Structure 1
């Protein structure tokens, strides 16, 4: 597309956005100044998580920690517990680290350029560009999954992902306007979420159908072209429910690694074969339940057996958590599923 198409894209898209923009708790009304803290938080929460899931969690989070200073002063365990269920827990640790850096080194104010933002914990190219554009009006090339799909279709980019991402970003650069770059980025996201959907794009309602090369092919849903995914490895493990009275043993997972720093039920190694009672937290009369928990991570799936036992004396390691308040522990989804199984069977 040449320079003329840059106008053809930005102008109708922004006109459409002004009429149809989504009402989201982290967005300000037209003409109001965005809150950088809320923009940053929403962008981190929305990474690989749906708007429907994020909306109530964002509201609760900002009620509890409404500013950078509030978050910087928060206890890490509380932050990790508040993040439970949103996945990719390194994001929560980076949120806290970035808030503390902003409070200590930037006077409590978020830097307003991509370069300065990228120096903060957890700010990759996408987050830095999105925050610079949306919070500060800087011209930045913002490409999330929705934008990626819209641009791949606009330009009919037929190279398969992920190799096509360089071409998609370059194409996005050619249509990003100097003015209203933040609104343009959000308009592209809204278009991808509501009109240019993965399987059944509603091309007749699209404000850009006049310029969409994929739509002209008659098969816009074929773009972007995706490389066939390799089957994810499958692993096995055992979750241990150790009860003393009306409390259950929780442990803190190692800081490094999957679900790092989170409270969890004890579990041994996750391996190719079921490990049975290997690495049980204590010698006890363990009973294996006939119901298991299955869960999918980005790079593998896992099938976990559940072993339950009671002890008469407390262990020194871990936390004994009241079962009636287990929902307050902030267990990752995998362990929350197992807890639900045990309580249902009690």
Structure 2
């Protein structure tokens, strides 16, 4: 095998918004395999909001990426060499191999992607970490019942789009919140939400009130800040809030925060933050159900694709700026 292994390394820790100079491209030899390892030729790279936090020199739920190391991320690709009995050359797989063309990884950390049910790229989206995140956050934590009203923020994104469709499949009325008229049209027309409110519009709060005349039973929140704060007065007694993300706080020196605690108390609201990696037992059943929905046409998804590993830094910058629709991916050439 004569190909080189192109990698994207973290070059510096940005102050404020990341730029393309925060990263560095490096070409080198392919990794060698140890016993039990698998060599994967990555074809797709997932770009996700959590990556911004991993660029910072602070520990959250995971260690930061060290300067000079390969940037972290999930990939999907094809096995080109295997020293693990569970994987053969040609298998379609997904794993946490980072921003690089080839990756060597212990086979126990890989999972196969059933490409008879979903495209390989969907193993990083609806049938991957974002889909499982939506599944755990909605089904296990919000636990919506038929007839309830569910609000999903960042509704056009990789996680929110799946969470809303799962709620619809369970007989809920689903209202999305997204940034811009085009995203809201996609959420309603393509994903089947009952309504979508543009948080960038001048009449956002009035539109929110009009769309939720009977209040909210469940909020699946990816945003935090002013959007979440505006939703709190609409809560019904016994409501649940799943805190999945807080994109409004990324690179924000003065985050808005929650300023309305009384609705949480008065309505006896359950608020639960979560990290999908804490629920390994839920991945297999979630991916199986989600893949079935995709194969049957019950769940739809959109991908925004950047071409070439070199485009990964710009793809992350665009994602954080809200310029992507659906799941943000990089096709590794």
Greater percentage in strand: 2
TM-score by length of 2: 0.23
Structure holding more helix per residue: 1
